[in-house]
Every structure is written in C-alpha cells, then in structure tokens.
C-alpha cells in the first residue's frame, strides 16, 4: 500500500517539542511572536519530523490559497509560452503555485473553467479574449484580475507598449525607401490589434508613407496566407502583420507565388515567437518582452492581494523593440 506513514502535523511537532500546537503554528508562521529558544526547539522538531504544512488546512481558516490561475486561450500558441514561463517563475519564487487553464478559444469553456478554478485561487491572470468587458469587471469583483492582452476599465493590466517597437519598424522601412506599406490586421475585436494599427498609422503618416489596412484575418498561418492576394493588390512594397504566425503564412505564400522576400516584398511580424527565425529568410519582427510581462502580471497580482483599496494597477510600460532579421530589405524601385 502506498503512503504508509501519514504526513506529520503540528500536533506531532507539539508533542515532540513539548508545547501547544498553537505555539507551533506561531513559531512557524509568525517569527518573533514566540521566544527564540522555544521557536528553535519547534523548528528542530519540525525538521526532525520532516514537516510540511498542509496547504489545504491552512487555506481553510485563512482563505488564502497561495495559488494563482493563468487562463490562456490556447496553450499551444507560442505567444503564451514565455508569458506562462515568466509567470511561473515569478510565482514559484514567492512560494505561489501557478495553475494554468485553457479556454480553447471558447467562451463557454472559458466561463466554466473559471467557475471551477476560481474558488481555489487567490487571483487570476487573463490572457484570453472571449470574455466581455462586463464579465471581466464582474470577475474582478470576486478575485483580483490582471489582464495581459487587453485593457478594461477598472481592471489591472500589464500590457506591452507597442509604440517604441513600431516606431523603430516604421523608421526602418522608411530608411529602406518604402513609401507604401500595409498592415495585415488580426481579429477586429482585439485590443492589441487596434493598438498596433493606431501606432502604425500614426508613425507611417508622420514619415510621409501611405499605409493600407488589410482588414480582419484569423491570426494564424492560414490567415496570413489568405491575406497575400490582398497585399499584392494593395501594391505595397512592405507589410507589417498582426503577428508572426500571419507573417510566416504570408511569407510562405509569397515565396510560393514567386514573390521574393525581401527583394520584392518586405515583411515584419510581431512577437518574435518560437520558430520565427526558422524561416527563409528569417523573419524580422517586433519583439515583446513576454516573459517579463508574465512575471510582472504575477507581481501585480501579489501587490493587489495586500492593497487596501481596489485601485487598478498598470504595468510599468514594457518596451518593445524591432528585431531585424532577413525579411526586410530595400524597397523595389
């Protein structure tokens, strides 16, 4: 039979150390509350019994679970890896456990999973898209929420500051002689999509370029592929896509159609996902500090656990930057 001896409890320690269980609890959780000598005695007994606090027993009276949920739309989306890693590391560092849940891009699954998980966590990091602003606000009433890919009034967030990366990218294209560029848009409802487009437009106009929006596409390889015809029709020499996946789809479709990148067409993606340098040529992209964002999301949550008020917090702008690789080049004359 497995697990012969049950785990030691504070009662075992108390008996061994010859004190009351409450003293053990205090010695272990409230340094200073108990006489140093007694505390040492308790700690010694605890070590001897290989004591591990039972997180459930502790969570019951305190209501604190030391667990954070990270909900993502799709675990296999490479954008989330680094985000999750950053969060996991930051959480582990302070003794918190990270639960990750996937909504599979379904609002039903998203709500159901949240329902199930909510009682057992102290807070939630949301990297999903299906919930409405109202639902998120409502959720935020129950447990602290931090958003990593959108903004909602009254809710904390840690989102990348797209502007520096975009400014760099547009400048880079202008320097290469591009006059007419396009943006292959992602989901219309996406906050990030709108943010990227706005910055892009502003910067392009400022540098005297024209910029066309190739409207709403699936943010996937297919979506990028499907936008190629329209990019070509737009008659531009350079294009920025909503994300790397689309950029790669576009790049491959272009190559297949005999359009050489970057000679005939320059392409810039967003995110610097895993594999974006596997392509030929390797993709130039605007990099997001995703791991940092994940870590900061956890820190923000931690802060809100101890905050007096419910004031939403906003991540110190995480700066993006252009990663120049091989998919951008001089504009075709």
Partner DNA sequence: ATTTGTTTGGCAACCGCTTGCCAAAAGTTG
Partner DNA sequence: CAACTTTTGGCAAGCGGTTGCCAAACAAAT
Which positions touch DNA (CB under 7 A)?
6-11, 18-23, 25-26, 28-30, 32-39, 51-54, 57-58, 60-62
Pick between residue 20 and residue 215 the one whose CB is nearest to DNA.
20
Q: How far is the CB of 238 from its own copies (least distance, A)?
A: 21
Interaction with its own copies in 49-68: which residues (CB under 8 A)? 52-57, 59-60, 65, 67
Residue 330 phi/psi, 5° resolution?
A: -55, 145
Spell 165-185 as b/e; 16+ CB within 10 A means b: bbbbbbebbbeeebebbbbbb
How many angstroms separate the Cα of 118 from the Cα of each of 72, 101, 136, 278, 290?
15, 11, 13, 39, 25
Pick between residue 193 and residue 279 the one whose CB is nearest to its own copies.
279
Q: Which two tokens stand for residue 295?
A: 């870590």
Q: Which two tokens stand for residue 165?
A: 């990366």
Query: Which does residue 150 bind out of its own copies, DNA, none, counting CB within 5 to 8 angstroms by kind?
Result: none
Residue 258 as a binder of its own copies (CB under 8 A): the answer is: no
CA within 13 Å, CB half, 245: 13
Residue 48 as a binder of its own copies (CB under 8 A): the answer is: no
User: Can you tell me the distance from the alpha carbon of 304 to that of 79, in angstroms, rounded to the nearest whole number?
Assistant: 25
One residue of 8, 28, 49, 99 binding its own copies per CB under 8 A: 99
Q: How far does the chain reach from its first CA to its final CA, in angstroms?
A: 78
Which position has the token pair 């500051």? 161
Pick between residue 27 and residue 83 the one whose CB is nearest to DNA.
27
Residue 115 as a binder of its own copies (CB under 8 A): the answer is: yes
Query: Which does residue 118 bind out of DNA, its own copies, none, counting CB within 5 to 8 angstroms by kind?
Result: its own copies
| Residues of this chain that bind its own copies (CB under 8 A) | 1-3, 7, 52-57, 59-60, 65, 67, 75-76, 78, 81-82, 84-85, 88-89, 92, 95, 97-102, 104, 113, 115-120, 141-144, 248, 252, 274-276, 278-280, 310
């Amino acid at each position: 039979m497995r697990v012969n001896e049950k785990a030691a409890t504070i009662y075992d320690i108390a008996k061994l150390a010859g004190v009351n269980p409450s003293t053990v609890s205090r010695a272990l959780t409230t340094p200073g509350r108990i006489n140093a000598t007694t505390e040492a005695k308790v700690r010694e007994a605890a070590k001897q019994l290989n004591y591990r606090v039972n997180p459930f027993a502790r969570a019951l009276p305190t209501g604190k679970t030391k667990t954070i949920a990270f909900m993502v739309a799709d675990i296999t989306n490479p954008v989330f890896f680094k985000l999750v890693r950053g969060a996991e590391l930051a959480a582990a560092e302070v003794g918190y456990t990270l639960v990750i849940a996937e909504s599979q891009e379904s609002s039903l699954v998203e709500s159901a999973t949240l329902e199930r998980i909510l009682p057992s966590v102290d807070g939630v990091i949301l990297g999903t898209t299906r919930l409405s602003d109202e639902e998120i606000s409502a959720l935020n009433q129950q447990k602290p929420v931090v958003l990593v890919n959108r903004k909602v009034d009254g809710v904390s967030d840690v989102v990348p500051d797209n502007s520096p990366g975009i400014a760099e990218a547009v400048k880079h294209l202008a320097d290469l002689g591009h006059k007419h560029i396009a943006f292959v848009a992602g989901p219309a409802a996406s906050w990030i999509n709108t943010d990227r487009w706005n910055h892009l437009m502003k910067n392009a106009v400022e540098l005297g370029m024209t910029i066309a929006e190739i409207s709403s596409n699936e943010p996937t390889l297919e979506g990028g592929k499907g936008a190629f015809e329209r990019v070509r029709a737009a008659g531009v020499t350079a294009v920025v896509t909503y994300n790397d996946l689309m950029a790669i789809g576009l790049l491959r479709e272009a190559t297949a159609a005999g359009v050489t990148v970057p000679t005939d067409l320059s392409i810039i993606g967003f995110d610097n996902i895993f594999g974006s340098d596997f392509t030929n040529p390797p993709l130039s992209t605007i990099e997001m500090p995703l791991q940092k964002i994940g870590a900061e999301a956890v820190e923000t949550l931690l802060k809100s656990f101890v905050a007096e008020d419910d004031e939403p917090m906003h991540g110190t702008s995480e700066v993006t930057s252009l990663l120049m690789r091989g998919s951008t080049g001089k504009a075709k004359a």
